[in-house]
Structure 1
C-alpha cells in the first residue's frame, strides 16, 4: 500500500505510529497518535496524520481527538471541552497532559485535562486504544496524553537553534492564535522557551450569535534537560492563565483559571535495568461567576461568584528489565489532591457556602506490566493495585443564608466523612504479527475508578455535576463504592495494496457506576432539607449520586481506499450505546452514530480535500437526566494544504460550507440569556467559517 494514501488526510490517526523514531518504541496495534507539531521536511514515508491538515474548528484539542475512532467531544465551552471515548467521559478516562495527572480546579470541570493543552504547544496526542495500560495509572475507560513540543538534543557539541511555531485565524469567532517553542540544544543539554496566546469572540452560527462564548488563554513556560552518559535529568515549568471564557451550558462562566505546572524527571540506563522517576506539582486558582459574560441577575442578591482551588502532587518510580522473554516493568506511584470551592455573593460578604470544604484525595498504587510474546501472540499483561483514601473538612455557611443550609451543614459535620477502598485492575491485550495484511487484536480487562470528591462530598444541593451540565441539582453520597468495569474487545488492522480498515467491537459491563438518581423514594415530595433547599433554587427534584449498573457496547473503525493516481478516500465510523443495567433507561450524553468521509487529491507538496460529516439522530436519551433527543445532520467542508518549503506549511479551508444550522447532541443546553439561542435549547454548532493556519519549523 502506498503510504501517501494516509499521509496528510483530513481525518486523524489513521495509523498508530506518529513518526519513524516514535514508532520504534510503541506498539502500533495499541495506540492511535495525532501529530500536532509541524514537520522539518515533507516525507511520504512518514505514517500518521497531522492536525496541521485538518479543519481548525476551534481552540480546543478535544476537537482533534473527536476525529479518531471511538472518540467524541463534550461541548461545555470553547476552553472546557471534554473527551468522550466509547461513551465514557470526565474523570473516568485516564487523561494526562505531558505525562502529568492532576485534579481539575472546579467541581464542574470547567478546566478538564486538555483545557491545559493549547494546540500551538502540543506535539502529538497519544491515545490508548480501548483501555489504558496499568503503567499509566487507573481509569475506567481508555486514555490519552497530550505531549508538548520541546527542543530535543542535537547530535553536535555546538549549540543548535531549533523552533516550531504556528499562527492561525478563524472567521466564525474572529479568533486568532499563535505560539510554539524555540531554544538551543547540544548532544548533552537542551533548553527551550514555550508560549502561546489565543483570543476569540462570541461564536457565529446560521441564525445569529451564541452569546457568552468568547475566550482568552495564555501560556508561558520553559523546558530543559541534561544528559550525562546513560542518565538524563529534565525539568518543565509552565504558567497558564485563561479567562474570561464562556460556558453557556453552565450556570456560571470562567472568570479566571490561573495554574502553575512543574515537573522533574530522571531516566537512567543501568546494566540490567532502566530506572525512571517523576515528581509533579499542579496548583489551580479558579473563579467563576454569573455576571461577567452573561446578563447579570436583576436582583443583586442572586449574583454569584465561586472561587475554587486545587493543588495536586504526584510522584512515581519504575524499573524495567528483560524477563521471561519480554520486558517487565515494576512501579509505584502516588497522587494527592486538595480541593475547595466556596459559593459567594460579591454584593454581600455574609453570603457564602463552603460547598467543598477542603476535600483531600489520596491514592497510592503499585503495578507490574509485561510486554512480550505469548506463543504466537504479542501481548501486554498488566496488574495494578490502588489504595484510595479521602476525607473532607467541615461545612459552613454565612449568616445571610436561611436556617436550613446551616442545619444541613451541622448534620453533615456530625458524621464520619472519610473513605478508603482498594481497587484492582488487570489488563490483557494481545495482537498478532502481520499476515496477509491483517493484524488481529484482542483485549480483556477489569478496571476500577474511585468516586470523585464532588460525588462523595457534595453536601449542599448545587448544579455542579462534574461537567454533565444537565440542569439538575446534585447531592453527594458518602456511601458510594468503587466503579468496576469488565471490558472485552476484538478487532483487526488491515492494510492492503489499496484498502485499509481498523474495526473494533467492544463491550463494557460496569457495576457500581456512579449516576444521579432520585434523592429519595418520594421524588417531588419536598420532605427533606436537601429537597427544600433545592426547591428554593428552582429544582424541586434534586438528584443524588448513587451506584447503579451500566453497560456500554459499540463499533468504531477507520478505513480508506487509494484510487489510481493522486485520489484517495478516508473515513471514520462510530457507534456506541450506553444503557442502565438496573432500570429501563439510557445513559446521559452519549454520542449518536456518525460517519465522516474525506475525498482527497494528494500531490507531493499540496493536497485538497472535501469532507462530509453525517450524524444520526439520537433518541436513546436519559429520562433520569431529562435529556432531549436531537435530529441528525450533515455538514460539508473544503480544505487545502501547501508545503511552501520544507519548513513552511500553510492550511486553509471552509467548514460548514452551506452554513447549516445544526445541534450536536453533546453540545449542552444554553443557560446564557444574552444570546440569540433560546435559554434551555441545545446549543448550535458554528456556522460557515473560513480559516488559515501557518506553521514554521527549523
Structure 2
C-alpha cells in the first residue's frame, strides 16, 4: 500500500495532504446537516483489568494541555507516566516499566516504529480529538495480546454514533488551539456522516510549534515540532455483522528531540485496519482483524542543532513494515456486548510480523556507511484461552473471576551487515565478521498466565486479587546491534550499546491487590503491586574487546552490552474522586514505584534507570451553568534512586499549578482559556531526560527543563 502513495522515496507531500484534508472537512462541514452533534471533544478514560471495576470514570479534555499528543492527559491515570525525549516522541511508562515492555495499541493496532530510539513511538501516532483511552490496570488479561509484561494501554477513536434512520446525515467539528510560550498551533477538523447502518469519517490535523522557554527564561533547544495527519474511517453494520476500516497517515516534519543525539528530519507513518465482527450463533461472535503499518524515517545530528565537525556528521535512514492478523471467538451476553453473566469464553490466535532496516551515512563522505540493521524480521505467532466466570457466596453475592492462558513463539532473523570502516579498522572488521558468521536466527517460547478474582468486603467495597506470569522476547535492537552506537529504544542515557545473540526472554511473576470503594459522591481505588522479573534485559559493561576499543577511539565510555539480570519492582497507585455538591468536585491520583536489580553489576545492585518518582495531581473543579473552571496541582517528589551505570542524576521535587476556564458560548461553540505553570516555575521532570544539544541556553547533560508559564486559548465549533 505504501508504494501507491510514495513519490521519490517518500510519501505524498505532507502539507498538501493536510491542507486537502482540512479543506475537505470544512467543505463537507458547510454542506452538512445543521443538526448539532451532542458529543464534545473529550477523551473517555476507562480502567479495565480489574473484574467489573469501571470505577474510574473521568473525562479529560483535549484542551487541558499544550501537549501535541496525550502525554499530559495520560499522566492523570494512576500508575501512568511518559518519558519525554521530545515533544512528539513520548514513551509510555506504567509502574516503572516502559517501551516494548508496555503494550500500547493505537486504533487497536500494534505499531512497529522505524526509529531505533523510539522517535516515532506508538504515542506519536495518536490523531484526532475524539479518543477513548483504556488502561488495563495491573496484570493485563491475556486477551489483550502477547508481550504485555509491563501492562497494556489502548487509545482508539470513540465508537461511532449511528443515526436512527436510513438517510445520510453529517456533522463536522473544528478545534483550534494556540499557546503563546512556544507559538504552538493545533488545528483539528473532522467530518462524520452516518445512516442507521453505515458511517464515513474524515479527520485532519496540523500541529506546529517553536522552541519553548523555561520558567527562568532560557530557550530550551530542540523542543520545536511540525507535523500533520489525516485519518479516514468507514463502517457498515447489519443485525449480525459489523465491518470497520481505517487508514491513518502521519507526517512528522522537522522536529526536535533534545534528550537524543539526533533530531527528526521526517517520519512518514501509515497505519491501517480492516475488522469484521460476525455473530454466528445465539451467543458466539467471531472477530477478524487485518492490520499493519509502514514507517520511513530520517534523522541526523547536524541540520537542526549545533553541528559537530563535518567528519562526524551522521544521517540515519531507517524504515519499518508490520503486518498482523487476529482471530477471536467471544461468547457474549444477551446485550451482544459483554461476556455472559454466568461465564464466557474468549479464544483466539494472532500472527504479527515486523521488518526493520537502518543505514548510517555521512553526506560529506560518500564512501562512509554503517549498515546497522539489514532486513531484520521478527515474527510472533500466538494463541490464547480466557474464561470469565462467577460463583455465588453463601450470601448470594456474585464473586467474579478470570483465568487466562496464552502461548506464543517469537522468531527473529537478520541479514549480513557491513561498514566502510571494516577495510581500515580491524576492530570494525572483527565485529562485522563475528556477526555475519554467527547463527543469527533465534526463537523464544513465551507463556502468559493470568488469574483474577474479586470479592466484596462490604456493601460498598470490593477487593481484587490478580496473579500472573508475563513474558517478553528481546527486541531486534537488543539482539542485533552489532556496532556500539547510541541505539537503546529511547533510553536516552548517552551510552553506546551492542546486542547479544544469546539473550534469554524476560519472565515476570506479578501480583496485584486492589480495593475499590464507592459511596454517594465519593469513590476511591487503590492498588498495591509487586513483580519479580527473571532475566531482565539491561546493559552491562561490555567484555567485547573490539567494541570497547571502538568506543575508546570515539572518546566515549565503555560500551554496554545487553544481558540478563534479575530485577524487581513494587509500589502503589491510587485514584479518588469526591463530588462535594452539584457545583464542586475534587479528583486526585498518585503513584509510587521502586525498581531495582536483584543481581549486582560491579558489586552493586543498582536502581532501575529512569523510573518515575513519587508523584500525583489534585484537581478542584467548579461548574455552574455554562462555566467550568478547574485548578490542578501537579507535584512530584525528588528522585534520588538513580542508576550510576547510566549516568543518571537525581532530580528535585516540584509543584506546578495549571488553570482552565471553559465557557460554553452556545450549543455549537465552546471556548477555553488555559494557563499552564501558573507561577512560571523553573523545574524539570525526572522522565524528561538530559540535554544533548550543544551551544544552547541549557548546558550539555543538564536536565531538560519543562515549559514556563504558557497561556493558551482553545475553540471548539460543531457544525
Find the counterpart in structure 2 of residue 37 from structure 1. Answer: none
Find the counterpart in structure 1 of residue 188 from structure 2. Answer: 179
SS of the residue corresponding to residue 477 of structure 1 reads: coil
Greater mean deviation of Cα atoms: 554-563 or 383-392: 554-563
Q: Does 1:573 align with 2:622?
A: no
Q: Does 1:275 align with 2:276?
A: no
Q: Give per-residue Cα distances to partners, 1:586-627, cap 9 Å, x unaligned.
A: 000011101311222222432212222221111111122121
Greater mean deviation of Cα atoms: 429-438 or 371-380: 429-438
Q: Does 1:625 align with 2:646?
A: yes
Q: Does 1:397 align with 2:419?
A: yes
Deviation of 1:399 (Å): 5.4
- CA distance in 1 between counterparts of 2:227 and 2:384 reads 37
Question: Are 1:339 and 1:356, in contact at CA under 8 Å, matched by a contact in 2?
Answer: yes
Deviation of 1:31 (Å): 6.1
Q: Does 1:540 align with 2:557?
A: yes
Deviation of 1:60 (Å): 2.0
Q: Does 1:248 align with 2:258?
A: yes
Question: Are 1:32 and 1:126, in contact at CA under 8 Å, matched by a contact in 2?
Answer: no
Find the counterpart in structure 2 of residue 133 from structure 1. Answer: 141
Q: Does 1:234 align with 2:256?
A: no
Find the counterpart in structure 2 of residue 379 from structure 1. Answer: 401
Question: Are 1:13 and 1:68, in contact at CA under 8 Å, matched by a contact in 2?
Answer: no
Q: Does 1:95 align with 2:104?
A: yes
- CA distance in 2 between counterparts of 1:29 and 1:676 reads 51
- CA distance in 1 between counterparts of 2:322 and 2:476 reads 14
Report the count of equivalent residues.
659
CA spacing shift, 1:603–1:439, aligned 2, 3 Å: farther
Deviation of 1:450 (Å): 0.8
SS of the residue corresponding to residue 203 of structure 1 reads: coil
Find the counterpart in structure 1 of residue 675 from structure 2. Answer: 654
CA spacing shift, 1:477–1:381, aligned 2, 3 Å: same
Find the counterpart in structure 2 of residue 471 from structure 1. Answer: 494
Deviation of 1:400 (Å): 8.4
CA-atom RMSD in angstroms: 2.2
Structure 2 segments unaligned to the other structure (5+ residues): 1-38, 333-339, 393-397
Question: Are 1:150 and 1:181, in contact at CA under 8 Å, matched by a contact in 2?
Answer: no
- CA distance in 2 between counterparts of 1:164 and 1:380 reads 41
Deviation of 1:387 (Å): 0.6
Q: Does 1:642 align with 2:642?
A: no
SS of the residue corresponding to residue 205 of structure 1 reads: coil
Question: Are 2:377 and 2:414, in contact at CA under 8 Å, matched by a contact in 1?
Answer: yes
Deviation of 1:206 (Å): 2.1
Deviation of 1:300 (Å): 1.3
Q: Give per-residue Cα distances to partners, 1:477-510, cap 9 Å, x unaligned.
A: 1111110001111111212234321111100110
Question: Are 2:43 and 2:133, in contact at CA under 8 Å, matched by a contact in 1?
Answer: no
Residue 616 (structure 1) aligned to one of 637, 650, 664:
637
SS of the residue corresponding to residue 213 of structure 2 reads: strand
- CA distance in 1 between counterparts of 2:341 and 2:579 reads 42
Find the counterpart in structure 1 of residue 275 from structure 2. Answer: 265
Find the counterpart in structure 2 of residue 49 from structure 1. Answer: 59
Residue correspondence of structure 1 range 582-621 to structure 2 within 5 A: 582-583=599-600, 584-621=605-642
Find the counterpart in structure 2 of residue 155 from structure 1. Answer: 164
Residue correspondence of structure 1 range 321-400 to structure 2 within 5 A: 321=331, 325-375=342-392, 376-398=398-420
- CA distance in 1 between counterparts of 2:686 and 2:421 reads 42
Q: Give per-residue Cα distances to partners, 1:399-423, cap 9 Å, x unaligned.
A: 5874232331012101101111110
Residue 530 (structure 1) aligned to one of 547, 551, 561:
547
TM-score by length of 1: 0.91
Deviation of 1:574 (Å): 1.0
Question: Are 2:85 and 2:689, in contact at CA under 8 Å, matched by a contact in 1?
Answer: yes
- CA distance in 2 between counterparts of 1:455 and 1:400 reads 22
Question: Are 1:149 and 1:181, in contact at CA under 8 Å, matched by a contact in 2?
Answer: no
Find the counterpart in structure 1 of residue 433 from structure 2. Answer: 410
Deviation of 1:694 (Å): 2.1
Deviation of 1:234 (Å): 2.2
Deviation of 1:640 (Å): 1.4
Deviation of 1:546 (Å): 0.6
Greater mean deviation of Cα atoms: 448-457 or 590-599: 590-599
Structure 1 segments unaligned to the other structure (5+ residues): 1-7, 18-25, 34-46, 521-526
CA spacing shift, 1:508–1:319, aligned 2, 3 Å: same
SS of the residue corresponding to residue 64 of structure 2 reads: coil
Deviation of 1:28 (Å): 7.3
Deviation of 1:164 (Å): 3.9
Deviation of 1:179 (Å): 1.2
- CA distance in 2 between counterparts of 1:184 and 1:394 reads 51
Q: Give per-residue Cα distances to partners, 1:640-698, cap 9 Å, x unaligned.
A: 12223333332222111111110111111101114211111110011001122222346
Deviation of 1:437 (Å): 2.1
Find the counterpart in structure 2 of residue 41 from structure 1. Answer: none
Question: Are 1:94 and 1:132, in contact at CA under 8 Å, matched by a contact in 2?
Answer: no
Structure 1 runs (4+) greater than 4 angstroms displaced: 11-17, 26-33
Deviation of 1:540 (Å): 3.3
CA spacing shift, 1:425–1:542, aligned 2, 3 Å: same
- CA distance in 2 between counterparts of 1:649 and 1:310 reads 40
Question: Are 1:72 and 1:83, in contact at CA under 8 Å, matched by a contact in 2?
Answer: yes
Q: Does 1:460 align with 2:488?
A: no
Find the counterpart in structure 2 of residue 305 from structure 1. Answer: 315
SS of the residue corresponding to residue 209 of structure 1 reads: coil
- CA distance in 2 between counterparts of 1:401 and 1:622 reads 38
- CA distance in 1 between counterparts of 2:616 and 2:246 reads 39
